Structure 1
Amino acid sequence: MNDQLTILQTAAVALLKQLIATPSFSKEEDKTALLLETFFTGRQIPVQRIGNNVIVRNKHYDPGKPTLLLNSHHDTVKPNPQYTRDPFAPDVEEGKLFGLGSNDAGGCLVSLAASFLYFYEHKGPYNVIFAATAEEEISGTGGIELIINDLPPIAAAIVGEPTQMQMAVAERGLMVIDCVSHGKAGHAARNEGENALYKALKDIEWFRSYQFDRVSDLLGPSRMNVTVIETENKAHNVVPAVCKFVVDTRINECYTFEEVLEIIRAHVDSEVLPRSTRLRSTSIALDHPLVKAGSKLGRTYYGSPTTSDKALMPFPSLKMGPGDSARSHTADEYIYVKEIEDGIALYIQLINEVQNG
């Protein structure tokens, strides 16, 4: 295995350098999708392309067997304005591979791709499918959500995100809420009207101070933060009739989105309009074969405060990958080459444990 592992590690790093050098902002991932397609077709592996999503199946795929999905994304955010390096230059210095998307989630993506290659010709008890997906950074509908119905039934998934190869077994849900406070316009000099901004402040204070009762052992309490506020009029002497504000809501697995909305509407006077209820909190059972295999390999588990494509998967999924979440979206982003090499080896061990369990 050592020679094969070295070849896979080298191929993965080379692929990541190509991906870094190719801009792939969300909804603009066609060129990196082509790179990934070529990576597999060049190895005589048939590719299914749906939009900017690239899907490959193990050689001896058997619909009668359970299927393990390996998934990560190949889109990136725009470069942080504080970059001091060329974000598209895949330079290696002191063991660090620099470049936009190197850590989030390029290192995970190529590590899972290499792990798929390792199992491509195996005839184990599980099928293995690899899916490189688009639009994860914007929670778009053209990514994992687009291909779910084209995948076979999935028994479980490994979602590649930078977790230092520890196991994120739960994720907070994300619900963005638009709130609208209504008043009545009037002339500020005559103290006329009903100030919608002042009415909004009362509700904002409630969002700031409210504490949810149910606290998760993995994710802690649910939280709400008001992040944007605006009025429609721009004149200084007009009392605003409408004030809008946005609430970023991070919800643990103890509450449904519907329960949270019910609580909010019972306490505020503003209109409460959720933008989406797609990105729900998720968790995988601690006795699931993936988690048990990871524990056997010395991996720890935790609850993740961030969301990923895991939130859109209607089957058990474990978030785990090389790199560090703290580096994501930062200037001069990087991942250690050794993190990728070790990540591939550990992914292979993890999948072997599940296959042999």
Structure 2
Amino acid sequence: MVFCPDGLDQDSAVTRTPTTREWLDRLVAFDTTSRNSNLDLIEDVRDWLKGRGIESWLAHNPERTKANLFATLPAHDGSTQGGIVLSGHTDVVPVDGQTWDSDPFKLMERDGNLYGRGTCDMKGFIATALAMVPEFQTQARRKPIHLAFSYDEEIGCMGAPTMLAEFADRGIRPDGCVVGEPTSMQVVVAHKGINVFHCKVHGRAAHSSLTPMGSNAIEYAARLICHIRDLADAYKANGPFDKFYDVPYTTMTTNLIQGGIALNTIPDLCEFSYEFRNLPDMKPVEIQATVKRYVAEYLLPRMQAEYPDARIDIVDGGAAPGLDASEEAAITQLARALTQDRQIRKVAYGTEAGLFQALNIPTVVCGPGSINNAHRPNEYVPLEQLAQCEGFLRNLGQALTEPDAKG
């Protein structure tokens, strides 16, 4: 789909210069809920960039139903090395079961705010970055600016790794990255890691009047869930702690469970999912090892004493590493200088920033809108925040014209 304002033919629409608001209207209209394809949006952006002489490459999912987009606006001398990545995800969360005052996939302005699914998280940042492209092209920058737009961030940062995996082969070595998640245009230098696991407890079915003949999958799943809660309580009581987080310790929680077929039947299967959000300096593999050790040394032997073929399967459901940006990094110093924000902010929610940092690309998080408005009905971004983001990106590009630009 190519956005075409009234009175313009398609060719003009591809090459014209949409405003941030027009871009946001354009992006919100694509229903890129994570269960859907994002290709219409990605291809629309790719075609518009191509109309301005900017080539993009796409990194698809295995089914080729979704794609990441990466594009480079070279430095004034044509160089594509170094520079800053402006990163955002194109997928949004569902609106199912939510009560909206307007169509969530049609941009609506009320009281200085723009409403629609994804306006805050995080199409507002993408819209601003795209609206700034023509201005970026006029700057005599010594460093390039890169655009990185991903898929499936909302379901565990599943899309960006397929793009980042190509960086080495393509010789892409950015100096820094700004992930534009909603932070009210304040600088976030750290966030927790997210780790999701799916567990299946396999027991043995029996009539409930013959309880000793079965092995109750629900009851053993409950023991494991309680152990996970005990671990969570220990982190809450004993740390380690980081006072700069709103929740200053690692958390663990079980959020989905199902099992059983009838009231009078011992269940042979119980499935549940749990997650933990670790402080960046804690190793997820060591946290998960405590769960596996409990299963191997305590829980499974008890189950197999009742039913030798009992088993407990735990599989990874996705993970995103935490972020812990250095205050000495050029991108951190640049972001702080541009926002005049010196406060240390660390958040419990996850982003793709840790994925960039894992490639030794210094990264910070800074974007328009408040995380408190993300995922909710009547999601919105203030027009004032979009204007601040425009100024931030304009000044970021200008900073890359300086002789000692390192960002």
Q: Do they superpose with TM above 0.5?
A: yes
What is the match of residue 58 of structure 1?
73
Q: Quick one: structure 1 residues 147 and 261, their matched pair in 2 at CA, closer, same or farther if it must change by over 3 Å?
A: closer
% identical aligned pairs: 20
Counterpart position of 1:294: 335
CA spacing shift, 1:85–1:277, aligned 2, 3 Å: closer
TM-score, length basis structure 1: 0.87
Match of 1:208 in 2: 229
Using the alignment, how far apart are the partners of 2:174 and 2:103 within structure 1?
Answer: 39
Residue 74 of structure 1 corresponds to which residue in structure 2?
90
Asked if the contact 1:20/1:90 (under 8 Å) is kept, the reply is yes
Aligned to 1:273: 314
AA aligned opposite 1:284: A
More off after superposition, 154-163 vs 215-224:
215-224
> How far off its partner does 1:280 sit?
1.6
Deviation at 1:276, TM superposition (A): 4.4
Residue 30 of structure 1 aligns with an amino acid whose one-letter code is L
CA distance, structure 2, for counterparts of residue 264 and residue 50 of structure 1: 35
Aligned length: 349
Deviation of 1:319 after TM superposition, in Å, equals 1.2
Aligned Cα RMSD in Å?
Answer: 2.7
Q: Could you tell me how far apart the structure 1 residues matched to 2:53 and 2:113 are?
A: 31
Distance 1:132 1:64 in 2: 18
Write the letter of the residue equivalent to 1:262: A
User: 2:110: which partner in 1?
Assistant: 93
Partner deviation per Cα, 1:231-283 (whole Å, 9 max, x = no partner): 2x412212223333211211111211211111222334264624146412221
Structure 1 residues without counterparts, runs of 5 or longer: 1-7
Provide the rounded CA distance (Å) in 2 between the counterparts of 1:127 and 1:22. Answer: 29
The answer to which of 238-247 and 100-109 deviates more is 238-247
The amino acid that maps onto 2:120 is: N
Counterpart in the other structure of 1:175? 195
CA distance in 2, matches of 1:339, 1:135: 25
Tell me what 1:225 maps to: 253
Alpha-carbon offset, residue 80 of structure 1: 4.2
Task: Choose which of 237, 247, 250 in structure 1 pairs with 2:274.
Answer: 247
Q: Measure, in 1, the Cα distance between the counterparts of 2:385 and 2:217.
A: 52
Report the alpha carbon displacement of residue 164 of structure 1 after superposing the two structures with TM: 0.4
The answer to whether the Cα contact below 8 Å between 2:141 and 2:401 also exists between their aligned partners in 1 is: yes
Matched, 1:23 2:31: yes
Task: Give how far 1:88 is off.
Answer: 1.7
Q: How much does 1:180 deviate?
A: 3.6
Paired amino acid for 2:190: A
- Determine whether 1:37 maps to 2:73: no
Structure 1 residues 323 and 273, CA, compared in 2 at 3 Å: closer, same or farther?
same
SS in 2 for 1:120: helix
Q: Counterpart of 2:55? A: 46
Choose 64-73 or 346-355, whichever is displaced more. Answer: 346-355
Segment of structure 1 superposing worse, 85-94 or 47-56:
47-56
1-structure distance, mates of 2:381, 2:102: 15
Match of 2:352 among 309, 320, 337: 309
The one-letter code sitting in structure 1 at the alignment partner of 2:255 is T
Range 329-338 or range 204-213, more displaced: 204-213
- TM-score, structure 2 as length reference: 0.77
